[in-house]
Structure 1
Amino acid sequence: MSTRENCDKVLLVQADFDGELDAQQSAALVTHRETCPYCREAWAQLSDTRNALRRGATYHSASDALRRRLDRQLAVAGMVPVVTHPRPSATGTGGLLAWWRSLVGFGLGAAVATVAVLMLIQPVPSGDIADLVMENHIRSLQPGHLVDIASNNQHNVKPWFDGKIDFAPPIKNLADQGFPLEGGRLDYLKNREIAALVYRGGQHLINVLVWPADGASEPPQLLERAGYNIIHWQEKDMTLWAISDLNTAELQNFVALWRTHP
């Protein structure tokens, strides 16, 4: 970037943009950017590039031969896909963006690792949103997929999302009520980036998936999928889905506490 010679922290902006810094480093850099025009410019350039890719990138399906070669290479590297997946549709821009960011930021070696992730986080098919929420929850429980930022402090988690998604997710810590915050991650659902917040209730994990609502507020609705309890509601221009293997009463209590917590 043209600004890197003007601030010794500007090279960290790329790492923060890609979610590579820990919570303390990310929070410190957010504070630094508020007073550093060079780092703000670097962040803006990265955001503009990502937005341009979102608007203009197209998807080209890999041939069966290429996919077989990639599978063999991943197997040799010990990264064997755990599911067989269909080819992404032409609208699967979330996966394409993750692939492109990996190519740009880290080169072909890291891109091969990204292929393994994309085989687990598949482009979302159409269908019942509750089923998609359940699949997202199950994927998150695989090793290394639960959180991108591990922190029990909402003041660390919230700024981590800054610039990574186009909305500010509401983040609350219910540790005093028995549901501590574990962290958050950037995830994908229905071909858009969403915020996933992770809480713990005893030995159980709770995923709260958040993205902007496209309708009016809705009261909580309880659903069940394959042994998981799911509660969906809309408030303050946000759609929220809480899912866990907690029993019904405990998950309802969590949602009630979450909604009334300032």
Structure 2
Amino acid sequence: MRSKQGTNDGPKTNEALLSASGLTKRFGGLTAVNDVDFRLPKGQIRCLIGPNGAGKSTFLKLLTGFHTPTDGTIYYKGEDITSSHPHIRAKSGISFKFQKLSTYQDLTVEQNLRIPTQLYTDGDQLDEHIDELLELVELTDKRSMPVTNLSHGEQQWLEIAMTMGVEPELLLLDEPTAGMTIDETEKTAGLVRDLIDEDVTVLIVEHDINFVRGISDMVTVMHNGQIFAEGSVEEIVTHEGVKKIYLGKSVEGD
């Protein structure tokens, strides 16, 4: 893996790798994200939770550049990236995975990994990097298999490996455990924890509170397009207001 450059955080980021100030997104008369201030320190695994329609996925798409803010500013390593296109953000070290799988079904596992990885690595280092990624997601023995033959969980892991092929400093994941079995979800949690060993900061939109409990350093709760609460997992699962916005359901997994 490549060595990571040090951050050059400006005063507006308060030493965060990623931050947002007054971030707002309106779709006609609907305000999906409303005046959000947010900061994500380097090296942290942060989970973003909230009820359906809270604005989580819209917020993530603002951070990746797939949505343009109506108002507000986004900073990455102290630089204003609010107007940067997604491919520019990717080149700067931000990688992302959305809910819908974007693997190439008719290509092999290795070919899928080669597509993003070859943009940043070449020669013998390319093959070595692909081997590392296959080992990371435990798909080495399926490297020559067409992706269409993989299970749903394996395809999710492959796509996470593809996002790592560009050697990011910041990884944004939108519901990476959607549709997984309990065992697959536990394995995904382990995989995400391993990413920190690669010096990767992670922001995950997730619904499975047991997954969140197993990996997250901090949790941000969104509701009605705003940040409703932030804290440790234990602070969030015992927060009466958070329980209430989940329509009376316990977020403790009991």
By relative contact order (CA 8 Å, sep 6+), the higher-ranking structure is 2
Q: With structure 1 as the length reference, what TM-score do the two structures score?
A: 0.27
Higher strand share: 2
Higher helix share: 1
